[in-house]
């Protein structure tokens, strides 16, 4: 997976993450607990991230 855009929807209990390629095609959409956010982002290459 080579993301270009990552969207992070902040919430009280669960974060929603949407990952898209450079053309805008969705690569992944998932829910994360607060404790899992850093481990999700750590291996990703540099990309545009919107909150």
- The pTM of the full predicted model, rounded to 2 decimals, is 0.79
* Residues sharing a CB contact under 8 Å with residue 27, sequence separation 6 or more, in sequence order: 1, 3, 19, 20, 21
More confident residue, 50 or 2: 50
Token code pair at residue 35: 């404790």
Mean pLDDT over residues 15-39, rounded? 93
> Do residues 50 and 10 touch, judged by C-beta distance below 8 A?
no
**Measured distance CA(46)–CA(5) in Å, rounded:** 9
**Taking 90 as the threshold, does the pLDDT of residue 3 lie above it?**
no
Q: What is the pLDDT of residues 37-50, one digit of tens each?
A: 999 999 988 889 99
> Do residues 50 and 9 touch, judged by C-beta distance below 8 A?
no
Band (pLDDT 50/70/90 cuts) for residue 1 is low
């Amino acid at each position: 997976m080579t993301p270009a855009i990552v969207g992070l929807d902040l919430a009280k209990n669960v974060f929603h993450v949407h990952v898209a390629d450079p053309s805008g095609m969705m690569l992944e959409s998932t829910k994360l607990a607060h404790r899992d956010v850093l481990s999700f982002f750590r291996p990703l290459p540099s990309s545009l991230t919107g909150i």
